[in-house]
Every structure is written in structure tokens, then in C-alpha cells.
Amino acid sequence: MSARHRRPWLLRVIFLAALSATGAGCQTLVSSAAGNFADNLSAAVVNQNDPETVRDGAPAYLLLLDSFIEGNPEDPMLLAAAANLYASYGAVFAGEPARAARLTERAQQYASKAICNSYRASCGWQEMTFEAYEGSVARLSSKHADIVYAYSVASLAYIRTHSDDWNALARLPHMEALLKRYLDIAPDGENDGSVYTFLGILATLRPPALGGEPEKGREYFEEAIRLGGGQDLSAKVEFARGYARPLYERELHDRLLSEVLEADPEVPGYTLTNVLAQRDAKELLASADDYF
């Protein structure tokens, strides 16, 4: 997968979820000081303006989380933390498609075990009809919100890096249903902007002839931008990439990307994502004449 087609929106949310979950899930394994370290590390990562530093440092934490899981293989929060970190590295930093596929497959395995251990009805999701799956998702409650979010992010990373697999793409409606349920059960405002970006990507990942819904995707992207107050630049990049390009809306495409490039990327909690978004925006604008 080329850099142009990777999804930088994954990075901030996955690192936040992964590192926060590591701090919460390891309390029986490590001291509270380590929990504070995880919180501080999360802040340092998302506020880093040099993605290569994060790329080079992340593998050590993949191995660290694997080692924690070896000692406590059923802990849902540890599994969710590992799922998210593997998903982020695979989706953004793996460097070549086969490696990205391997890493996000591992993320999916960890995430599936995490949600199965937290909500037993989910253990059979892969075999359920869509109607039965919707009924199961409807019974999720607020106590499941964190794990649902982690599972959703890992699943989206897996689908994106396996987009040539029709079995993976067939899970898109399932992920939309799950993300909508997350909005119902999550604390007010928590991750809403990111979730609407996810929903926009899901709606535009396929062409209309294969079930894509670009106008619904546009509504989701616009809501993500509104909720984020323009701070998360990746929402505009995904809007341009997922909606404006396929529909050949050059004016919208160039306006969104120009706004991204004109913005200050150094925003607390969004700096790393914004730096990556600006890199993608430059690539997309540079290729616009050839594309349109």
C-alpha cells in the first residue's frame, strides 16, 4: 500500500487508546507510577511533530505489550492496548503491504479476544447473520464502550490493509453498526469527531456500484470537522480523498487540502496526526492535475 493510500486518522486515536489502555490494564502487573508513565507517554506521542521518532520507537512497545499479555493472556484491556498499537503501526508505519497485513491481522486477533472476554455474545459475531449481529450490538452498554472503540479501530485498520479481500470488505456494514452503537453508549463527546471520520471513510471506501454511499460519507465528514473544531486536520484530508476525488469535485478537493496546509499543525493532542495529514495533503495536491 502506498503512503498516499494509508490512513493517518488511525494514528492519534489508536495511540491514545493503546497507551491509555496500557496504563489502565496493567495495574495488577505494574505500579501506579508506570500507569502515570503510560499517560505521559501517550501525551508525548500525540504531541510529537517528528513521525519518524514515533515510527522508530513504537516496536519496543509492541514487544512490551506482548510480554504483558504472555503473563496475563485474558486481560481485555491489555489485549485492547496491544490491538490498537499493532493496528497503528501496521496502518501507518509498516512500510510495505505484506507487513502491514501481518501486523493488522495480529491487531484484529487481539481485539477479537478482548471483546469476546468482555462481552461473551460477541464471540460468535463472525458467524452471525447481519440481523442477529445487529441485535447483539444493540445490547452493548456503556461499560463496554472502551473495548468497543478499541475493537472498532483495530478492525478498521485490518479492513483497510486487506481491502483486496472481499471477506474483509463484507464487514463494512457491521463496523458501521458498531460505531453507531458506540456513539450511543460512550460518554458524551468522547471520540465523537474521530468516530464520524471513521464512518465517513466506511461510507466512501467502496464505489457506489459496490455499495458505497458518498453523500452519507460527506455528511459524516462534515460532522467530524464540526465536532473537531477544525483542530484534527486528518478529517479534511479524508474528506478530500474519500469524497471529493472519486466524485471529481476539484474545487472542494483543493479547498480542503489548502486549508490543511495553511493550518498550524501544532495543536495539543493532534500534532502528530496533523503533521501526517499535511504530508498527505501535499501529495494529493501535487497529483491533482493528473487526477482531475
Give 203-224 pLDDT, tens digit per residue: 998 888 888 899 999 999 999 9
Radius of gyration of the chain (CA): 18
From 86, 96, 87, select the one nearest 3 (Cα to Cα). 96
Helices 145-161, 76-88: axis angle to 10 degrees equals 30
- Best CA proximity match to 186, nearest among 152, 211, 231: 152
pLDDT at 216: 95
User: Which pLDDT score, from 0 to 100, does residue 36 have?
Assistant: 52
Q: How far apart, in whole angstroms, are the C-alpha atoms of residue 181 and residue 23?
A: 25
* Residue environment code for 250-280, b if the CB has 16+ CB neighbours within 10 A, otherwise e: eebbbebbeebeebebebeebbbbbbbbbbb
Is residue 37 classed exposed, middle or buried when 0-12, 13-18 and 19+ CB atoms within 10 A define those classes? middle
Would you say 12 and 272 are in contact if contact means Cβ atoms under 8 Å apart?
A: yes
**Which letter does DSSP use for residue 206 in this model?**
S
Question: Rounded to an integer, what distance in angstroms lies between the CA atom of residue 84 and that of residue 77?
Answer: 11
Residue whose cell numbers read 465536532: 227
Q: What pLDDT is attached to residue 189? A: 67
Q: Confirm if 151 and 84 have CB atoms less than 8 A apart.
A: no
d(CA 204, CA 216): 8
Domains along the chain? 1-127+143-183 (no CATH), 191-292 (1.25.40.920)
Residues of the chain with pLDDT under 70: 1-42, 189-190
Distance between CA atoms of 118 and 79, rounded to whole angstroms? 11
Q: How far apart are the first and last CA of the chain?
A: 22
The conformation of residue 91, written as its DSSP 8-state character, comes to: I
For residues 256 and 240, the answer to whether their CB atoms sit within 8 Å is: yes
